[in-house]
Structure 1
């Protein structure tokens, strides 16, 4: 990780190179992250015209001026946040090295980025997606079971991939799920999804003959005789979206979003949806109330006589 020869004067370049070396060899940061940190810090250094200045004597006020200039130039909140994060990390490193007694980037303010609403499919789109025939094709049978389970129980991608046959309670119509932080929760499984799972498990032996011991209980496996991967699931979800003519890029998390949105629209029970999704904080689930409101606002704008544009 080296800067161009003439990019920065020595007093700027040496501390930055030492910082990048620390991130690479002691913290194990990826080359992509290193490139980002280098770019963010180099841009600031090149913007300082005073030759007497360098990292060790920049003030909080000077860093603020740089951030203000970024905002005035139209930089996006995320870009500014990356800059501030790089500065805070760099000056924290200089503090640890005993080269600075303070962190001038610690209290830099970052503009809030607009929170994008999760995209979801409406009920008609979901019904159309799941309407394909899976009787005579083992892969279609497996994929239908995966899609039905995604939508039935609002699973995350990793939760579906890591699901085991022994996690299913057929009599109670429940599934034990291991979510983020290895936390377990119990989620209901709808009858349509259970039937799709039964159909798949009847076909599963065709793929299970050479399974490794650690994959013998895996709920979903591939024709390569191993537990299905996250990448493979993404590819199959996109394949069926295309096959069913949805005319949009579909990823597994959109099925989770659709589950949450449809449950909230029908039940209006935010706490129950939080439990079903396995969210630690209610604020994470509340984004779906905004999604519901966005739908209501759209209906209002199109239907109310006083809302229509002349």
Structure 2
């Protein structure tokens, strides 16, 4: 990568981290995407990253597509390039954004899986006696009660939670705060955890959930513990934080029909992201329709009102 490209990329990443205050994970993703494009340009002798044109972008995407990269990956890399050029325009280092007119291939929209409400309830109703099991149950309850992202749960501090009011203050994407309700059963589980938390954490540790060593729990540890928690209780489905978030959204929408409320609770910037849950809800309704409507049942299925 040329010196000028390295300098531009470093300044852009600094802008993302300090001006836009994006997470370290997001900044690393931008660095990875743009470095990948820059290395390809070097091999193709097409010049520095900030001089790529529309034809170059199309050639790059075609090359990545031939490598078997998914449409979602190509869309993300193209988005990184668009954002980089918007910054270059602002800094008066570019005259146009060559990525604006380029479209990556569309990816099929996969519906997120959800956990059956009754099965999840049965898992949560099983007693937990060991300190870490009590903590894990409290995390599962909070994930499912409030639809939190993994990063949001890990980032919670003690003073973010108001058990009496039944609510928690969450710092979501883009450092946006939102206040989310906490269900009564989740409050009970969290109270149990708070009773034993001092045996693991020091009085100066602010994190709500801590590891066995008494420090803020790591996201990977949460994922591993939730998977083990479910297996130990006899679950036949892999349990992970995002599955609980999807289940929360789907079950809430199924009961309330209020898409705007789901959007606010999940912390989605736009309603479009939340609308995928309407498809999940429709699937549920379609299953009920197929079972109940006399003109929807397959031939050979007896009519419930048929005396035969």
TM-score, normalized by the shorter chain, greater than 0.5: yes
**Preserved contact between residue 20 and residue 34 of structure 1 (Cα < 8 Å):** no
Partner of 2:196: 203
Tell me: CA distance 1:109–1:307, structure 2 relative to 1, closer, same or farther (3 Å). farther
Q: What RMSD in Å do the two structures reach over aligned CA positions? A: 4.1
- Which residue of structure 1 lines up, in the alignment, with residue 152 of structure 2? 159
Judged with a 3 Å threshold, the aligned counterparts in structure 2 of structure 1 residues 191 and 38 are, in CA distance, closer, same or farther, namely same
Aligned to 2:139: 146
> CA contact under 8 A between 2:33 and 2:80: conserved in structure 1?
no
Q: TM-score, normalised by structure 1?
A: 0.71
Q: Does 1:286 align with 2:280?
A: no
Structure-1 residue corresponding to 2:122: 128
Larger Rg: 1
Q: Which whole-Å CA distance do the structure 2 matches of 1:82 and 1:119 have between them?
A: 23
CA 1:110 to 1:245, structure 2 compared with 1: closer, same or farther past 3 Å? same
Of 82, 105, 113, 1:111 maps to 105
Once the two structures are superposed, residues 167-187 of structure 1 have per-residue CA deviations (whole angstroms, 9 ceiling, x without a partner) of 333333222333333333222
TM-score between the two structures when normalised by the length of structure 2: 0.71
Displacement after TM superposition at 1:148 (Å): 0.9
- For 1:119 and 1:236, locate their aligned partners in 2 and report how far apart those are by CA, in whole Å: 20
CA distance in 1: counterparts of 2:69 and 2:262, whole angstroms: 36
**Unaligned ranges ≥5, structure 1:** 1-15, 47-53
Is the counterpart of residue 269 in structure 1 residue 258 in structure 2? yes
In structure 2, distance between residues paired with 1:158 and 1:282: 21
Any conservation in 2 of the 1:274–1:282 contact (CA below 8 Å)?
yes
SS at match of 1:204: helix
- Kindly tell me: are residues 40 and 307 of structure 1, through their superposed partners in 2, closer, same or farther at Cα, counting changes over 3 Å? farther
Per-residue Cα deviation, 1:40-70 (whole angstroms, up to 9, x for no partner): 5478x49xxxxxxx56999756865886798
- Residue of structure 1 equivalent to 2:304: none
Separation of aligned partners in 1, 2:174 and 2:81: 29
The answer (yes or no) to whether the contact 2:41–2:47 under 8 Å persists in 1 is no
User: More displaced, 116-125 or 92-101?
Assistant: 92-101
Partner deviation per Cα, 1:196-249 (whole Å, 9 max, x = no partner): 1121122122112x35x3x2x432222212222222212211111222333333
| Unmatched 5+ stretches in structure 2 | 14-26, 301-308
User: Partner of 2:200: helix, strand, or coil?
Assistant: helix
**What does 1:12-91 correspond to in 2, within 5 Å?**
17-18=2-3, 21-22=6-7, 26-27=11-12, 32-33=32-33, 36-38=36-38, 40-41=40-41, 45=44, 60=54, 76-78=70-72, 80-81=74-75, 84=78
Q: Please tell me whether the aligned partners of residues 41 and 86 of structure 1 are also in contact (alpha carbons under 8 angstroms).
A: no
Deviation for aligned residue 1:116: 2.4
